Structure 1
Amino acid sequence: MKRRYLWLVRRAYRALRHKRLRHRHWWQDLTHKLFERRLWMPCRDTVATGLTIGMFFAVMPLPMQMIFAGIVAMRFHSNVPIAMAACWLSNPLTNVPLFLGQYWIGSKVAGSLGLQLPDIQWFKSFLHWLDDLNKSDDGRHWVPQTILNGNTGDFFLGTLISAILLAALTYPLVHLFSAIMPHHLPARPRHSAKVSSFMRKIRAQREARKQAKKAM
């Protein structure tokens, strides 16, 4: 499993450093923080934060969840590949039961609290757009019709509750796993997170561009 993780990390790292992209300034400005080695090396704190972020976005009805998770993980200096991989929790096989479960949670919580949530029109339009975008060739819906025809306020509430609860449970569970099996998930990276020569080159180029802009 560890070898598989390292193989995937190396493939992703090399793809981001492709020779057709590495010298483009806009790409360097967009992804330069991704090349920090500490964001790719697995340890307790970075994996816990990255998996928490990934689980939060995994249950959100959003397109390109992995991109959102990767950007947020990068901003919080957590493990980027773990955050992006966690988004595979929601996939074409799990979306329907996941969305129905969120709708049920939202309706139960709203009913127990006596809340009469309004039907959120912009959210309903967004769900219809997602359904049309991801509808399969045989006519199967990406978003269940029960949700599209029901109260989207309940579904929105259930989505927030499930995302927050899943994220809140993930962080301590990763720390518990690291405490029980530290040889699989150490508290600190086994290798020092030294800055790569490629990263030093990018930083030097960015500083040179900043100095050139100030001189103009």
Structure 2
Amino acid sequence: MPRKLLRRWLPDRDTLNRNAFLRRCAPFLTHHNLWHLNRHSVSGGLAVGLACGMIPGPLQMLTATVLSILFRVNLPVAIFGTFFSNPFTIVPLYLAAFGLGRLITGANGGPAHIPPAPETDWSNLTGTVQAWLDWMVTLGTPLAIGIVVLALLLALAGYGVVQLGWRLHVRHALHCRRQRRATAGL
């Protein structure tokens, strides 16, 4: 993959060491795979980020950080991977998870029709969070199973796409290098 492009966007160790809060966490952030851009670290980081993106609420980035430290995959890529779920995409993702859960459970659990999603009132954040939690509880077992299965499917797809894309990029670069050498030798 284009390392130069990724290095431009991702923070380096010096940037993190200047941050007072992160300096306290430095012993956990020293493993080289947390910052190194290689095929395995980046694909694992994206898989962790995509799986954690399905976690409800504000715990996505924290969970992605903990799991990337635990699995020793690229930390910035894992955090960046959680950004696919946001206020605009979370309802379609949860509806897809609900449908997947109903398919897996045989539609025996939960309501036959999806109740309308609650309104988001930014002035009453605690009430909004409670309304969303109540909505998710009414969807029941199919939603819970669907979220887990969809998170695993997204993680597997992200891992596979990065692995394949990285290999194709390396093969293409080698092919171009061989062609340049062959034409320079003539």
TM-score strictly above 0.5: yes
1:106 Cα deviation after fit: 1.2
Aligned CA distance change for structure 1 residues 141 and 62 (closer, same or farther; 3 Å): closer
- What is the aligned partner in structure 2 of residue 18 from structure 1? 18
Q: List per-residue Cα deviations over 1:124-163 (Å, max 9, x = no partner).
A: xxxxxxx89x743499967769944733211101101101
- What is the aligned partner in structure 1 of residue 184 from structure 2? none
Give the TM-score normalised by structure 1: 0.62
- What is the aligned partner in structure 1 of residue 122 from structure 2? 136
Number of aligned residues: 164
**Of residues 88, 101, 120 in structure 2, which corresponds to 1:93?**
88
Structure 1: runs of 5+ lacking an equivalent? 119-130, 186-216
Q: List per-residue Cα deviations over 1:164-192 (Å, max 9, x = no partner).
A: 1111222222111111112899xxxxxxx
Higher normalized helix content (fraction of residues): 2
Superposed counterparts of 1:197-208, under 5 Å = none
Give the TM-score normalised by structure 2: 0.70
Structure 2: runs of 5+ lacking an equivalent? 112-117, 174-186
- What is the aligned partner in structure 1 of residue 176 from structure 2? none
CA contact (8 A) 1:58 1:90 kept: yes
Confirm or deny that 1:169 pairs with 2:157: yes
- d(CA) in 1 for partners of 2:172, 2:39: 10
CA contact (8 A) 1:52 1:167 kept: yes
**Of residues 164, 177, 182 in structure 1, which corresponds to 2:170?**
182
Percent identity over paired residues: 24
Query: Which secondary structure state, in structure 2, belongs to the residue aligned with residue 181 of structure 1?
Result: helix
CA RMSD of aligned residues (A): 3.6
1:64 Cα deviation after fit: 2.5
**Of residues 64, 69, 80 in structure 2, which corresponds to 1:74?**
69
- What is the aligned partner in structure 2 of residue 55 from structure 1? 50
- d(CA) in 1 for partners of 2:160, 2:166: 10
- d(CA) in 2 for partners of 1:117, 1:20: 47
- d(CA) in 2 for partners of 1:73, 1:184: 30
Confirm or deny that 1:34 pairs with 2:29: yes
Q: Structure 2 counterpart of 1:169, which letter? A: A
- What is the aligned partner in structure 1 of residue 105 from structure 2? 110
My pick for the range that moved more, 64-73 or 166-175, is: 166-175
